[in-house]
């Protein structure tokens, strides 16, 4: 098994046709110049030690040296052994609120972007834990199943927006009930849900859902984004605010962070509430919390251990080019005596 580290350098092979064309142009120019100076037989007498074969040999050595250098820059890696990797960690589900209230800009740039940056910062500090993502508003939908692919997690995270669910509102119970289906190992004792929201709950069943999750052995930690004073929900067109969301009476809606609901949910599932506006405080809290949790081995896979092979190719390439520089175009005496190339 093998893999190529930087295949971009293969484009350098395009230099070889240019080198060969230049070589044949120079050879043709030399031949025409010699023919103008003297006839072929006379040239043979004037330079009896000139080799007909070595110019082509020098070109071949130079070309092969360049090829080897390019392969060295590409850095082919060859698998030489198998090793077993065991992972120990916690299964984490991020439940992210994507309701319209998350567009409020009482925290910069808005609540949803703040929540996404918060989740991304947490993922950056994870080691071998598995993560999953749920988006919810009036209903909850799975975005990413439990995985160790943090790159995929960040990609799905960035795709979250308030238009992905047609029905609006905030149903915390739907998010918590769906998160319970993410954990596929009945023996897994370290199940965690990180709920990121402004705390609005139109279903008013969040605490009940948290209790159901707790009965399944799931701990819920809540992070509140937004301010207690609240702010209006902007309606934008092409990034420009046109107006603000209004209620049935035509009054501008002011959405506020509801800390109490988030605290109740966390308490019902043996978790804690943390202010989500302070990213560093959240990351420190999560790091410390996960460190104190019992880790369980949940994955053991065999990976090929690849070893760099660029050293051999670079060394061989430099040696060939160095030999080409010291290889003269005159006949070699001992080779001439062997007459391997029928040179007289």
In DSSP terms, 254 is beta-bridged to: 232
Give pLDDT, residue 78: 75
Give pLDDT, residue 172: 84
Angle between helices 54-74 and 15-37 in degrees, nearest 10: 160
With contact defined as beta carbons under 8 Å apart, do 167 and 200 qualify?
A: no
Q: Is 306 helix (H, G, I), strand (E, B) or coil?
A: strand
With contact defined as beta carbons under 8 Å apart, do 253 and 232 qualify?
A: yes
Q: How many CB atoms lie within 10 A of CB 104?
A: 26
Rounded to 5 degrees, what are φ and ψ at 197? -160, 165
Distance CA 335, CA 344 (A): 11
Q: Is 235 helix (H, G, I), strand (E, B) or coil?
A: strand
Give pLDDT, residue 186: 57
Give pLDDT, residue 329: 63
Q: Which domains does the chain have, with CATH numbers?
A: 2-75+309-338 (no CATH), 86-300 (3.40.50.410)
Our CA dihedral for 283, 288, 293, 295, rounded to 10 degrees, sits at 70
Angle at 22 between CA 17 and CA 26, to 5 degrees: 150
Give pLDDT, residue 182: 84
Give pLDDT, residue 38: 62
Give pLDDT, residue 175: 87
Q: Is 196 helix (H, G, I), strand (E, B) or coil?
A: strand
Give pLDDT, residue 135: 93
Long-range contacts of 284-289 (CB under 8 A, 24+ apart): 286/122, 286/125, 286/194, 286/221, 287/125, 289/221
**Tens of each residue's pLDDT in the chain, 344 residues:** 667 878 888 888 888 899 889 888 987 887 777 677 666 556 566 565 666 667 788 888 888 989 999 998 888 877 665 566 677 788 899 999 998 899 999 998 999 999 999 999 999 999 888 899 999 988 889 999 988 889 999 999 999 998 887 666 667 888 898 988 888 665 566 889 999 999 887 667 788 889 998 888 889 999 999 998 999 989 888 778 888 888 888 888 899 999 999 999 999 998 999 999 999 999 999 999 988 887 766 655 555 667 777 888 889 988 988 888 877 666 555 455 555 555 55
Give pLDDT, residue 80: 62
């Amino acid at each position: 098994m093998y893999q190529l580290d930087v295949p971009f350098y293969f484009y350098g092979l395009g230099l070889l046709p240019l080198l060969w064309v230049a070589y044949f142009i120079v050879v043709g120019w030399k031949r025409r110049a010699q023919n103008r100076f003297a006839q072929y037989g006379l040239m043979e007498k004037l330079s009896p030690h000139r080799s007909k074969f070595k110019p082509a040999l020098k070109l071949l050595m130079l070309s092969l040296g360049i090829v080897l250098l390019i392969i060295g820059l590409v850095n082919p890696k060859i698998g030489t052994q198998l090793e077993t990797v065991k992972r120990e960690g916690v299964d984490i589900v991020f439940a992210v609120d994507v309701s319209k209230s998350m567009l409020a800009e009482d925290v910069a740039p808005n609540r949803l972007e703040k929540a996404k940056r918060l989740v991304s910062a947490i993922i950056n500090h994870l080691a071998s834990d598995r993560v999953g993502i749920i988006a919810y508003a009036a209903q909850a939908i799975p975005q990413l199943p439990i995985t160790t692919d943090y790159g995929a997690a960040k990609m799905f995270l960035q795709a979250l927006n308030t238009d992905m669910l047609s029905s609006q509102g905030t149903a915390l119970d739907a998010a918590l009930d769906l998160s319970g289906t993410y954990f596929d190992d009945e023996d897994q004792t370290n199940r965690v849900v990180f709920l990121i929201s402004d705390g609005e709950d139109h279903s008013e069943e969040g605490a009940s859902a948290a209790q159901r999750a707790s009965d399944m052995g799931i701990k819920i930690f809540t992070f509140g984004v937004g301010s207690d004073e609240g702010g209006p929900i902007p309606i934008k067109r092409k990034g420009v605010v046109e107006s603000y969301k209004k209620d049935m009476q035509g009054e501008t809606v002011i959405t506020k962070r509801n800390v109490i609901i988030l605290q109740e949910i966390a308490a019902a599932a043996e978790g804690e509430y943390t202010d989500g506006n302070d990213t560093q405080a959240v990351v420190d809290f999560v790091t410390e919390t996960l460190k104190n949790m019992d880790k369980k081995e949940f994955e053991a896979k065999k990976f090929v251990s690849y070893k760099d092979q660029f050293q051999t190719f670079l060394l061989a390439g430099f040696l060939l080019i160095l030999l080409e520089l010291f290889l003269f175009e005159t006949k070699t005496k001992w080779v001439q005596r062997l007459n391997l190339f029928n040179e007289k």
